[in-house]
């Protein structure tokens, strides 16, 4: 493959919510900096917001304060949060919302002109075109250049400092080296680690983007960055089959969950995000399932409004209602839990960062789902983190870039690509088959759907052996083109994220978030685990580091 | 869960290959084609991007599909979501871009 080089002051990896907002910030506030935004697909619809989004779920409504949001997120995560990160995020939520409205996002207004709230911390929008709106704003910036369809594989690291990244241009079939003074990682979290709800034809009908493969986590681990809280997995409670959101109905219309006997059961289990999922798991195991959102009896107007709302974010649900004849007005909506994901935007998995969103690697900043310690950030929180990371990276980029011997770097990268190139393979396995094997092992032994999200020390050990075996096998895979190679790299990213996740699950010997992670050997919450479980990859092994909850800002990145 | 391309309607403009968040669409003999239907997330970005309504979205059999097709006619003001059923009948739902979700 041909090797191409590009230079910038700041390299942004990933053009989803956080990456686009970072680019926008650098465009508007730092026109002197030359910025490159690189995306695996096309920023118009890439990332989590491809289909749209139903509401802005992080907003401080009148009568509430950013500290209220911090308190809410802390309680929902049973205390395992970085309050400093949550506060700086919460303080920026309303400004980024106003910015998005200026760019063209439609937000529902009250007669007095204020935003119409859906709850105390979220507002109603039309989010179908949120991504095209953001993408257009980014493309309007004269100092930001966008490179679509380039998948970043790894950072360029010189003397412990991140000086760029390299990737594969999927359309040009080229290797691209991006050299920069500062790098912001905004690649999102990891889907596809566990067997999905529908492993066959609809294997990608999932909550999170199936194209978010944990690349940022894997790149960080390989470069020696410290990660946090992978064990706080996120599992979404969704509409059965379509995996469409439930909040629109539960919170929007305001209907309760009921079991097949018509009983409202939520009160028995508590009302955190994890507990709402756990309630469904327990009811099903008790023989009371399936579980539903009790929509039967809503008005025709409500049903019609729901149909339109789902078209703006999850069209499958509207098609399902019309096609099956099971309209929400006449039938309750069945719900189920998804497979587990590793994310930093709903839960708190990701890079261990400072208040300025700097990672433990010099020159590297993180924002959005890839950044840890700051859950419940959702779309607007990802914007704020993108903004903070952009400002910090701009400051860092004022320093001169170190001299790099590109000849050696290029040679190493070419050899790595060469290793996986080739039409003929001697292995009977493919990346797809190994991915299925990984998902099956994680499902059975690391708390997937099949095991009702529970695991034990013994089962985690078995999962670890499978992941090690698959990592070995993945080394023998070969691909004839850039897309095929992308599939190999994605598999290897996921396997490394699984390796780290298993170490985190084993290290937290308690059950802090029933539903999200149930350790069957330790079914209770334990005081000694009021700590962060962090990790680093050292000589191929995941080393666990415990960090106190009240880590002061200066200690956070030490 | 996936999309299907009606080749006779495809004019080969390539817009869908640009916009798919999974790089799943490519041009083959000047027509759009999907690499593997199992890899589709169901976001409908391509359905809304296609200027000829040559791409429809459908519920796979494992999700309870009954052969219905969902097309989108996307203009500046609204999206006309058109459903076509196996018996030939049609239904349409319009979502206005200036109207926020009620829920």
pLDDT exceeds cutoff 60 at A555? no
Q: State pLDDT tens for residues A401-440.
A: 667 788 888 999 999 999 999 977 778 999 999 999 999 9
The domain made up of A2-188+344-406 has a fold known as: FAD/NAD(P)-binding domain (3.50.50)
Contact A402, A158 (CB under 8 A): yes
DSSP for A397-431, please give it: TTSPPPP--HHHHHHHHHHHHHHHB-S--S-S--H
Instruction: Give the closest-approach CA distance of B42 to chain A in angstroms.
Output: 7
Cβ separation B45–A51 shorter than 8 A: yes
- Segment A82-92 mean pLDDT: 98
Count Cβ–Cβ pairs < 8 Å, chain A vs chain B.
174
Count the Cβ atoms, other than its own, within 10 Å of residue A553.
12
pLDDT exceeds cutoff 70 at A383? yes
Domain A237-337 CATH class label: alpha beta
Question: d(Cα A89, Cα A112) in Å, to the nearest integer?
Answer: 27
Which of B36, B44, B97, B61 shows the shortest CA–CA distance to A320?
A: B61
Handedness of CA A275, A498, A447, A431 (dihedral sign): positive
Question: d(Cα A344, Cα A33) in Å, to the nearest integer?
Answer: 28
Instruction: Give the closest-approach CA distance of A466 to chain B in angstroms.
Output: 24
Count the Cβ atoms, other than its own, within 10 Å of residue A121.
21
Question: d(Cα A511, Cα A456) in Å, to the nearest integer?
Answer: 11
Q: For A543, how many CA atoms within 13 A lie in the half-sphere containing its CB? A: 10
Cβ separation A248–B103 shorter than 8 A: yes
Scanning A63-129, the segments in alpha helix (DSSP H) are: 66-76, 83-103
pLDDT of residue A59: 98
Question: Which A residues in the span 249-278 are in contact with B, Cβ-Cβ below 8 Å?
Answer: 249, 251-253
Which residue in A202, A213, A239, A242 has the most chain B C-beta atoms within 10 A of its own C-beta, making it the best mutation to test that interface? A202
pLDDT exceeds cutoff 70 at B96? yes
Contact A29, A54 (CB under 8 A): no
Which of A395, A405, A340, A351 shows the shortest CA–CA distance to A373?
A: A351
pLDDT of residue A248: 92
**B23, B99, B101: residue with CB nearest A170:** B23
Question: d(Cα A428, Cα A152) in Å, to the nearest integer?
Answer: 27
Rounded to whole angstroms, what are the CA distances from A187 to A34, A464, A558?
A: 20, 25, 24
pLDDT of residue A552: 45
The token pair at A297 is 């009896």
pLDDT of residue A426: 79
Q: Is A211 touching B (CB cutoff 8 A)?
A: yes
Scanning A251-295, the segments in alpha helix (DSSP H) are: 273-285
The domain segmentation of chain A, as residue ranges, is 2-188+344-406, 237-337
Q: State pLDDT tens for residues A198-216.
A: 999 999 999 999 999 999 9
pLDDT of residue B103: 84
Q: Is A318 touching B (CB cutoff 8 A)?
A: yes
Residue of B nearest to A131 (CA): B45
Count the Cβ atoms, other than its own, within 10 Å of residue A355.
16
Q: Please give the ipTM for the structure prediction.
A: 0.98
Q: How much is the pTM?
A: 0.97
Question: d(Cα A182, Cα A426) in Å, to the nearest integer?
Answer: 41
Q: State pLDDT tens for residues A224-235.
A: 999 999 999 999
pLDDT of residue A386: 98
pLDDT of residue A423: 79
pLDDT of residue B102: 86
Question: d(Cα A423, Cα A478) in Å, to the nearest integer?
Answer: 7
For chain A, percent of residues with pLDDT exceeding 70: 98
Look at residue A216 and give its three-state secondary structure. Answer: helix
Sort strands A257-258 and A237-239 into parallel, antiparallel or unpaired: unpaired
Question: d(Cα A340, Cα A439) in Å, to the nearest integer?
Answer: 11
pLDDT exceeds cutoff 70 at A506? yes
Q: Is A308 touching B (CB cutoff 8 A)?
A: yes
Cβ contacts (< 8 Å) between A126 and chain B: which residues? Answer: 95, 97-101
Residues on chain B bordering chain A, Cβ-to-Cβ distance under 8 angstroms: 1-2, 18-23, 35, 37-45, 57-66, 68, 70, 79, 81, 83, 85, 91, 93, 95, 97-103
Q: Is A200 touching B (CB cutoff 8 A)?
A: yes
Q: Which CATH code fits B2-96?
A: 3.30.70.20
pLDDT of residue A558: 45
Question: d(Cα A130, Cα A394) in Å, to the nearest integer?
Answer: 26
The domain segmentation of chain B, as residue ranges, is 2-96
Question: d(Cα A162, Cα A493) in Å, to the nearest integer?
Answer: 19
Query: What is the average pLDDT score of chain A?
Result: 96
Question: d(Cα A438, Cα A304) in Å, to the nearest integer?
Answer: 41
pLDDT of residue A295: 98
Rounded to whole angstroms, what are the CA distances from B53 to A97, A132, B48, B56?
A: 33, 19, 8, 7
Distance of CA A434 to the CA centre of its chain: 22
Tell me the backbone φ, ψ of residue A344, rounded to 5 degrees. -110, 5
Cβ contacts (< 8 Å) between A305 and chain B: which residues? Answer: 101-103
Cβ separation A242–B63 shorter than 8 A: yes
Cβ separation B38–A202 shorter than 8 A: yes
Q: State pLDDT tens for residues A40-56.
A: 999 999 999 999 998 99
pLDDT of residue A138: 98
pLDDT exceeds cutoff 90 at A196? yes
Question: d(Cα A228, Cα A205) in Å, to the nearest integer?
Answer: 28
Sort strands A144-147 and A122-126 into parallel, antiparallel or unpaired: unpaired
Question: d(Cα A313, Cα A310) in Å, to the nearest integer?
Answer: 5
pLDDT of residue B1: 54
The token pair at A100 is 């998005």
pLDDT of residue A553: 45
**A51, A308, A483: residue with CB nearest B23:** A483
Element (H, E) at B34: strand B31-34
Burial letters A522-543, b for 16+ CB under 10 A, else e: beeeeeebebbbbbbbeeeebe
Torsion of CA A403, A406, A412, A413, to 10 degrees: 110
Non-local (6+) Cβ contacts of A334 within 8 A are A239, A240, A241, A290, A291, A292
């Amino acid at each position: 493959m041909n090797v191409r080089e590009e230079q910038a002051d700041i390299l942004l990896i990933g053009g989803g919510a956080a990456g686009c907002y970072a680019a926008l910030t650098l465009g508007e506030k730092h026109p002197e900096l030359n910025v490159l935004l690189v995306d695996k697909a096309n920023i118009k619809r890439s990332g989590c917001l491809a289909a749209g989004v139903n509401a802005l779920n992080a907003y401080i409504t009148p009568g509430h304060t950013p500290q209220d949001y911090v308190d809410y997120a802390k309680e929902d995560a049973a205390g395992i949060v970085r309050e400093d990160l949550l506060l700086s995020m919460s303080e920026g939520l309303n400004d980024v919302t106003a910015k998005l409205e200026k760019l063209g996002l439609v937000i529902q207004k009250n007669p007095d002109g204020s935003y119409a709230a859906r709850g105390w911390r979220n507002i109603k929008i039309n989010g179908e075109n949120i991504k095209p709106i953001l993408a257009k704003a980014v493309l309007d910036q004269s100092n930001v250049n966008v490179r679509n369809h380039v998948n970043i594989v790894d950072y360029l690291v010189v003397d412990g400092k991140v000086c760029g990244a390299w990737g594969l241009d999927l359309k040009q079939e080229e290797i691209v080296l991006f050299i920069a003074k500062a790098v912001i990682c905004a690649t999102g979290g990891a889907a596809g680690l566990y067997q999905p709800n529908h492993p066959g034809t609809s294997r990608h009908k999932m909550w999170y983007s199936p194209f978010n493969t944990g690349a940022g986590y894997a790149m960080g681990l390989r470069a020696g960055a410290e990660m946090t809280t992978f064990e706080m997995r996120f599992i979404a409670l969704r509409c059965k089959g379509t995996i469409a959101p439930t909040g629109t109905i539960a919170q929007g219309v305001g209907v309760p969950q009921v079991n097949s006997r018509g009983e409202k059961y939520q009160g028995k289990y508590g009302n955190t995000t994890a507990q709402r999922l756990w309630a469904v798991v327990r009811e099903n195991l008790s023989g009371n399932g399936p579980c539903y959102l009790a929509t039967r009896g809503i008005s025709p107007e409500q049903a019609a409004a729901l149909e339109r709302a789902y078209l703006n974010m999850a069209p499958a649900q509207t098609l399902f209602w019309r096609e099956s004849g099971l309209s929400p007005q006449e039938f309750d909506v069945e719900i189920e839990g998804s497979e587990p994901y590793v994310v930093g935007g709903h839960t708190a998995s990701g890079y261990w960062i400072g208040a300025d969103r700097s990672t433990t690697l010099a020159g590297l900043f993180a924002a959005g789902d890839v950044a840890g310690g700051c859950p419940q950030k959702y779309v607007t929180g990802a914007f704020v983190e993108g903004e903070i990371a952009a400002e910090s990276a701009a400051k860092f980029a004022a320093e001169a870039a170190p001299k790099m011997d590109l000849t050696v770097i290029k040679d190493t990268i070419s050899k790595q690509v060469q290793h996986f190139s080739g039409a003929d393979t001697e292995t009977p396995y493919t990346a797809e088959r190994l991915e299925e094997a990984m998902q099956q092992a994680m499902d059975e032994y690391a708390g997937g759907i099949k095991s009702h999200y529970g695991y034990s020390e013994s089962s985690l050990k078995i999962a670890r052996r499978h992941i090690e075996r698959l990592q070995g096998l993945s080394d023998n895979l070969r691909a004839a083109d850039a897309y095929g190679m992308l599939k190999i790299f994605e598999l290897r990213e996921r396997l490394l994220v699984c390796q780290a996740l298993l170490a985190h699950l084993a290290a937290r010997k308690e059950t802090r978030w029933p539903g999200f992670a149930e350790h069957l050997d330790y079914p209770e919450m334990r005081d000694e685990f009021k700590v962060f479980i962090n990790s680093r990859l050292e000589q191929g092994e995941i080393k666990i580091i415990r960090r106190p909850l009240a880590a002061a800002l200066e200690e956070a990145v030490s | 869960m996936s999309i299907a391309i009606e080749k006779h309607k495809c004019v080969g403009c390539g817009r869908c290959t640009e916009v798919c968040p999974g790089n799943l669409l490519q041009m083959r003999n000047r027509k759009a084609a999907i690499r593997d239907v199992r890899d589709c997330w169901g976001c409908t970005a391509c359905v809304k991007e296609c200027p000829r309504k040559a791409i429809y979205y459908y519920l796979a059999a494992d999700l309870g599909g009954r052969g219905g097709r969902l097309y989108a006619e996307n203009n500046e003001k609204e999206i006309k979501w058109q459903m076509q059923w196996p018996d030939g009948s049609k239904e349409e739902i319009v979502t206005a871009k200036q109207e926020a979700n009620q829920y």
